[in-house]
Structures are given as C-alpha cells and as structure tokens.
Amino acid sequence: MPGRFEAVAFDLLTALVDSWSLFARVAGGEAPGRSWRLASLRRVTGQGNYRPYEKILAEAAADAGLPPGKAAELHARWGELRPWPEVPGVLARLPGLRLAIVANCSQALA
C-alpha cells in the first residue's frame, strides 16, 4: 500500500475507539446504548451548520428515552473510551503514511 497513498484518515468514534460500549455502559444496557448512539449519529449526520456535540448527545439521549443527565455522565466518563482491539495492529501496518483523525465531536472530547 505505501506508494499508492500518502495518507489515511480514520473516524475517531467509529473506526478507532469503541464508543458503542461506553454508550451502553452509561445508558444501562446494550439496547438503550445502541439506540442512543444511533440517535446521536442521525443527529450529527443530519446537521447543517455546526452545533456543539455535547448538545447533540443530550438531545439524542432524549430521543432514546434516557433520563436527563445521561449526556453529562457520558462526558464525565469519556476517558473510559478504548481503541478497538485490532486498531494497534492496523496502524502498525501503515508505516510511512501520514495518519489523520476526523471526528464530529468537539475538540475537547476528541
């Protein structure tokens, strides 16, 4: 692959880190966490102009029927995010390429 590409970009919250598990832990289960994460993705991808990611997460939590305060809890536990197990190996197979991270979340959370 080196030589064909100069850089590779990865989405932070989908490709690099397992955000789904954190949403599930904060929401209190796999189903409500999945509903919340999907609602947040719908809101992010449907946005026109930039809106603070933290507000989008709170609105998505309400969309998923979660109690108020869950978005604040998610922010407080953001440091629990971990890479997907295969990420280190994949990145190690890209020597010589510039790597970029893209994210829809705020810079503070990224």
- Residues of the chain short of pLDDT 50, as ranges, are 1
> pTM of the prediction?
0.86
pLDDT on residue 5: 79
Q: Say if residue 46 is exposed, middle or buried (CB neighbours under 10 Å; 0-12, 13-18, 19+).
A: exposed
**Cα gap 43→60, rounded to integer Å:** 7
Q: How far is CA 44 from the centre of its chain?
A: 11
pLDDT on residue 3: 59
Domain chopping of the chain, boundaries: 7-102
